[in-house]
Amino acid sequence: MTPCQCNPFLDARSTPEACLAAPLLQSLFTMTQPKRALITGITGQDGSYLSELLLQQGYEVHGIIRRTSTFNTDRIDHLYEDPHNEGVRLFLHYGDLCDGSTLRRILDKVQPQEIYNLGAQSHVRVSFDEPEYTVDAVGVGTLRLLEALRETQQRTGQEIRYYQAGSSEMFGKVMEVPQKETTPFYPRSPYACAKVFAHWQTINYRESYGLFACNGILFNHESPRRGETFVTRKITRALARIVAGTQKTLYLGNLDSKRDWGYAKDYVRAMWLMLQQDEPDDYVIATNTTYTIRQFLDVAFGYVNLDWQNYVEFDPRYLRPAEVDLLIGDSTKAQTRLNWKPSVTFEELVKIMVDADMRAIGLTPPGEGEALMHREAATVRQDSSVTVDVAN
Ligand code: NAP
Ligand code: G4F
């Protein structure tokens, strides 16, 4: 009998029948292995929530982190375990979107089935101060990752699905209200221009090489883990200090721009859903509502019975050379095809953030936001063995 050479799941004594059954055995083996995902930007707001979601789904999660002189893993510390322990499913690798050879090496080693490209210099105002670096990390970084993916997939023959973290900033000086997948882009910052480049590269790789690559066009999404210099978190953090009596004034820029603000946890679910579909596609993820910064201030300060006008002052340093005045999304496509919808309203989001920032500095918050978080955490605990930090 000629021994079977064609499949590692068979040994030399396998019969021809077993050889025919080998593909089935192999796919059964693959099905019982945890899926492997690789996340760039795992230490960011979205990276941390996405890691939680994937671990809850049973994935093995690999994240790329940058070497820094101080620890930058605060948002994922509650998920991290010593890799020497048995059963660990979260692994971190040093790398950078500006370093293509390292990206290739990591892909080669991890061989993920899904990649979520969330890494970015994501601050719009800062992108005017550091345009070259922003475009390198956000734009060219995406291209480096897509190339590494293409090469790895070609070499291994194993499909790698790709998610690109696109932004509503790409709509910029909006050509249509509300904005949907077909609305033309008009980017207004180095960051947004780089995201447009990354968006079209993702489509180009999908169409040229048949990659399963999706663009999420996500509108602003916030949480207690939002970076401290984005306007929502800057407000809720300052408000907590004002209540504590340790801060008197909050300096802000343009209060008239409008944003479609959602809850980050809802948005990472949409990323995952995109990669579970039969076909790759691009989706707007938004709440379909819009509010000014003033309205955010009204709800946040009103929640603790304060009038923001007594505390907020204008500082022109927070203005941008070009502003995006109005963002409001139309996420009908995602709601219809992905069965995705936001679970948290604008008012609820503000309260969640105010409560968390008050609690973080030892105050007792009004509690409506915390009640929402606990309700959600209880649901998650019912179907998961992964520890999730409910206070965050
Ligand atoms: P974030 O909190 O600013 O996190 C950005 C992540 O990217 C961090 O982990 C950061 O690492 C990492 N990073 C920065 N430069 C990098 C580089 N050169 N190489 C590798 N990693 C790098 O952003 P986020 O709010 O979670 O957003 C996630 C993604 O979605 C970003 O691409 C953002 O542009 C996009 N997006 C966000 C929103 C939103 O409203 N949040 C909306 C639309 C699109 P460090 O921790 O070391 O800095
Ligand atoms: O909170 P922001 O800095 O967010 P922005 O510029 O909308 O960008 C965020 O959302 C994008 C999605 O649309 C992401 F792609 C991007 O990565 C980032 O996550 O500013 C929101 C608005 C702006 O109009 C800004 O001019 O708030 C205004 N603003 C007023 N005072 C301020 C301030 N923004 C900041 N960061 N700081 C202020 O003091």
Residue 6 pLDDT greater than 80, yes or no: no
Residue with CA at minimum distance from ligand 2 atom 37? 231
Question: What is the spatial distance between Cα 248 and Cα 333, in angstroms, rounded to a whole number?
Answer: 45
Ligand 1 centroid–CA 47 distance in Å is 8
Out of 122, 222, 223, give the residue to mutate to test ligand 1, the one with the largest number of ligand atoms within 8 Å of its CB. Answer: 122
Look at the block and give the residue holding tokens 């479609």.
Answer: 260
For the stretch 298-329, pLDDT in tens is: 999 999 999 999 999 999 999 999 999 999 99
Joined tokens for residue 318: 């927070």
Ligand 1 centroid–CA 121 distance in Å is 6
| Range scoring the smallest mean pLDDT among 4-18, 120-134, 235-249 | 4-18
Residue with CA at minimum distance from ligand 2 atom 39? 252
Q: Is the CB of 259 inside a 6 Å radius of any atom of ligand 2?
A: yes
Residue with CA at minimum distance from ligand 2 atom 20? 231
Residue 387 pLDDT greater than 90, yes or no: no
Backbone dihedral region for residue 117 (phi beyond 0: left; psi -120 to 50: alpha; all else: beta): beta
Query: Pairing relation of β-strands 258-259 and 291-292?
Result: antiparallel
Which of the four pLDDT bands, split at 50, 70 and 90, describes residue 376?
A: confident
Out of 49, 123, 124, give the residue to mutate to test ligand 2, the one with the largest number of ligand atoms within 8 Å of its CB. Answer: 124
Out of 118, 127, 259, give the residue to mutate to test ligand 2, the one with the largest number of ligand atoms within 8 Å of its CB. Answer: 259
Q: Is the CB of 122 inside a 6 Å radius of any atom of ligand 1?
A: yes
Question: What is the spatial distance between Cα 208 and Cα 212, in angstroms, rounded to a whole number?
Answer: 11
> Which pLDDT value is given to residue 4?
37
> Which pLDDT value is given to residue 33?
85
For the stretch 189-213, pLDDT in tens is: 999 999 999 999 999 999 999 999 9
Which residues are the active-site residues?
167, 169, 191
Residue with CA at minimum distance from ligand 1 atom 3? 122
The more confident residue out of 136 and 22 is 136
Task: Kindly state the percentage of the chain with pLDDT values over 90.
Answer: 86
> Which pLDDT value is given to residue 377?
76
Ligand 1 centroid–CA 124 distance in Å is 11
Q: Is the CB of 293 inside a 6 Å radius of any atom of ligand 2?
A: yes
Omega prior to 178 cis, within 30 of 0: yes
Write the single-letter amino acid at 63.
Answer: G
Instruction: Name the H helices within 183-292.
Output: 190-209, 231-244, 264-274
DSSP secondary structure string for all residues of 334-374: IIIII-----S-HHHHHHHHHHHHHHHTT----SHHHHHHH
For the stretch 108-129, pLDDT in tens is: 999 999 999 999 999 999 999 9
Which of the four pLDDT bands, split at 50, 70 and 90, describes residue 176?
A: very high
Write the single-letter amino acid at 97.
Answer: L
Which of the four pLDDT bands, split at 50, 70 and 90, describes residue 24?
A: low
Residue with CA at minimum distance from ligand 2 atom 23? 257
The more confident residue out of 17 and 169 is 169
Q: Is the CB of 220 inside a 6 Å radius of any atom of ligand 2?
A: yes
Question: What is the spatial distance between Cα 101 and Cα 137, in angstroms, rounded to a whole number?
Answer: 14
pTM for the whole structure: 0.92
How high does pLDDT run on average in the chain?
Answer: 91
For the stretch 346-371, pLDDT in tens is: 999 999 999 999 999 999 999 999 99
Q: Is the CB of 284 inside a 6 Å radius of any atom of ligand 1?
A: no
Mean pLDDT of 72-99: 96
Question: What is the spatial distance between Cα 193 and Cα 178, in angstroms, rounded to a whole number?
Answer: 20
The most distant pair of C-alpha atoms in the chain lies apart, rounded to whole Å, by 88
